[in-house]
């Protein structure tokens, strides 16, 4: 095969997989097993000492999950990847090697409501904290970084508004501060955005969403760029100092660009146990095979529907970044050149009550707490995903009381517009 870099459509089908060596099976088999037989005692010892790559126990490694990890790393242009049980698990696992009691991250105010809760409430139990900043204000981002800041965290395409972050600027801020930029790329997917190309150190995903695409299984992934020097500052001892559980092994010194990936498996999955099951990995691999085709249709539909809503008298505002009137439109052409995704919000003139009534009258749109499905989805964030926030926090997150979040599917756009029209009447 040529050494020339393959196109996205080829990578999403072929990367990280080979025909099964035992049977010749073309599709990746589901290796539904908990453990693996060692060749001999020396083989087992080498595996446990991280001297040889292989399979020990499916909490750590599994061939089906490994195929998904390899494909995700290829799609994002990373050195390696670690898959886990959900997007929330991916966030904890991404931060686990970086954080310690008393440490903090600087995070965008424009985040999924569940992430805001995780960062404000669950972090306290670890002694971690998060400082929330408007990531369009780069001076505020810089000012929020202190000696205890371990990372900058944002979503490439923010949930729920679809606002696009300037990853180039944020990556430069992180580089100068000597800390990693962590980007949640769930809503954009690697088809629309490649955060590593814009300065991200780690990319996290809820594979539950567009990557799987069919609303069947939950999963998460952390892709490691392999470009960060974990030993430069002394801020990341888990990766740059001797690990007692592995006889003093130094992950960065031993594994270089794959230090974070090996730590995520050998320590993160070992001790946190946020394991992705092989059947879920199989469903996600199958979903990824059609990712580019689906995303093209998602974006096409979203553009049509956002344009229609933007011209409707019952609508106060539409946040779709793909509209020429959006303040993020120019940024989209640089960060997400293939389109602004299919997630955005619409503000209704009738306020909270109008939102609740509209949701109840929609027929094609499913009222669910999910996004990225082939089906079109709707939710009222203020009463669901962001209800734990104070009213002013909801507004900052783009989830005020008059806001509906739409996740546009791949149905016929005219049918979706008809459904919205009758519900808004």
Tell me what pLDDT residue 1 has. Answer: 40
Mean pLDDT of 55-65: 96
Q: Are 219 and 285 in contact (CB under 8 A)?
A: no
pLDDT at 28 over 70: yes
Whether pLDDT at 2 is above 70: no
Q: For residue 227, which of 206, 267, 268, 197 has the smallest C-alpha distance?
A: 197
Burial class (CB in 10 A: 0-12, 13-18, 19+), 207: buried
In sequence order, the β-bridge partners of residue 184 are: 155, 204
What's the pLDDT band for 102 if we cut at 50, 70, 90?
very high
Residues facing 380 on adjacent strands: none
Q: Is 185 exposed, middle or buried (0-12, 13-18, 19+ CB in 10 A)?
A: buried
pLDDT tens per residue across span 311-367: 999 999 999 999 999 999 999 999 999 999 999 999 999 899 999 999 999 999 999
**pTM of the model as a whole:** 0.95
The pLDDT confidence band at residue 379, using thresholds 50, 70 and 90, is very high
Q: How far apart are CA 147 and CA 157, in angstroms?
A: 28
Strand partners for 112: none
Name the β-bridge partners of 377.
366, 407
- pLDDT at residue 383, as a whole number: 85
Q: What is the pLDDT of residues 118-172, one digit of tens each?
A: 999 999 999 999 999 999 999 999 999 999 999 999 999 999 999 999 999 999 9
How far apart CA 310 and CA 330 sit, in angstroms, is 18
Comparing 21 with 240, the larger pLDDT belongs to 240
Average pLDDT, the chain: 95
Is 90 exceeded by the pLDDT of residue 396? no
Among the listed ranges 161-175, 295-309, 372-386, which one has the minimum average pLDDT value? Answer: 372-386
Give, for 358, the enclosing helix (H) or strand (E).
Answer: helix 351-361
DSSP 164: B
Query: Which CA distances in Å does 419 have to 91, 294, 310, 360, 415?
Result: 36, 21, 16, 12, 6
User: How many beta carbons lie within 10 A of that of residue 297, not counting itself?
Assistant: 17
Domains of the chain: residue spans and CATH? 8-287 (3.40.640.10), 292-424 (3.90.1150.10)
pLDDT digits (tens, 9 = 90+) for 246-284: 999 999 999 999 999 999 999 999 999 999 999 999 999
Residue 3: is its pLDDT beyond 70?
A: no
Could you give the strand order of the β-sheet that contains 220-224, starting from the edge strand earlier in sequence? 80-84, 220-224, 202-206, 181-184, 149-155, 104-108, 129-133
Length of the chain: 425
Determine what percent of the chain is predicted with pLDDT higher than 70.
Answer: 99
Helix 413-424, helix 351-361: angle, nearest 10: 130
Give the DSSP H or E segment for 202.
Answer: strand 202-206
The owner of tokens 């949701």 is 359
Which tokens in the block code for residue 154? 């944002």
**Owner of token pair 């809820």:** 206
Q: Kindly calculate the radius of gyration of the chain based on its CA atoms and give it in whole angstroms.
A: 22
**The token pair that represents 279 in the structure block:** 């059947």
Q: What is the pLDDT confidence band of residue 397, given thresholds at 50, 70 and 90?
A: confident
């Amino acid at each position: 095969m040529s050494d020339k870099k393959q196109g996205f459509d080829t990578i999403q089908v072929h990367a990280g997989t080979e025909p099964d060596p035992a049977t010749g099976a073309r599709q990746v088999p589901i290796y539904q097993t908990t453990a693996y037989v060692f060749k001999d005692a020396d083989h087992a010892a080498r595996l446990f000492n991280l001297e040889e790559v292989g399979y020990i126990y499916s909490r750590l490694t599994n061939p089906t999950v490994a195929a998904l990890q390899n494909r995700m790393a290829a799609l994002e242009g990373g050195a390696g990847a670690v898959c886990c049980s959900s997007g929330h698990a991916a966030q904890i696992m991404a931060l686990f090697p970086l954080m310690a009691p008393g440490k903090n991250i600087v995070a965008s105010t424009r985040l999924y409501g569940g992430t805001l809760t995780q960062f404000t409430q669950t972090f306290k139990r670890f002694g971690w904290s998060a400082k929330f900043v408007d990531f369009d204000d780069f001076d505020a981002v810089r000012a929020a970084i202190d000696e205890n800041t371990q990372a900058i965290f944002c979503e490439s395409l923010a949930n729920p508004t679809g606002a696009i972050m300037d990853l180039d600027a944020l990556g430069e801020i992180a580089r100068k501060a000597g800390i990693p930029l962590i980007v949640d790329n769930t809503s954009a997917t690697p088809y629309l955005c490649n955060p590593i190309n814009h300065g991200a150190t780690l990319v996290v995903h809820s594979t539950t969403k567009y990557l799987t695409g069919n609303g069947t299984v939950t999963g998460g992934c952390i892709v490691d760029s392999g470009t960060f020097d974990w030993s430069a500052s002394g801020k990341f001892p888990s990766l740059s100092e001797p690990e007692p559980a592995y006889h003093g092994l130094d992950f960065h010194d031993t594994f270089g660009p794959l230090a974070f990936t090996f730590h995520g498996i050998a320590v993160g999955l070992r001790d946190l146990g946020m394991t992705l099951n092989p059947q879920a990995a199989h469903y996600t691999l199958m979903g990824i095979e059609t990712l580019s085709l689906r995303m093209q249709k998602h974006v096409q539909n979203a553009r049509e529907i956002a344009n229609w809503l933007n011209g409707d008298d019952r609508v106060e505002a539409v946040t779709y970044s793909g509209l020429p009137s959006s303040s993020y439109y120019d940024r989209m052409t640089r960060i997400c050149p293939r389109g602004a995704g299919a997630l955005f919000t619409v503000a209704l003139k009738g306020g909270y009550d109008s939102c609740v009534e509209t949701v109840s009258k929609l027929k094609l749109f499913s009222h669910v707490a999910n996004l990225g499905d082939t089906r079109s989805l709707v939710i009222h964030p203020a009463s669901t995903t962001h209800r734990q926030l104070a009213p002013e926090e909801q507004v900052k997150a783009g989830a005020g009381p008059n806001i509906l979040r739409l996740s546009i599917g791949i149905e016929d756009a005219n049918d979706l517009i008809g459904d919205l029209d009758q519900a808004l009447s």
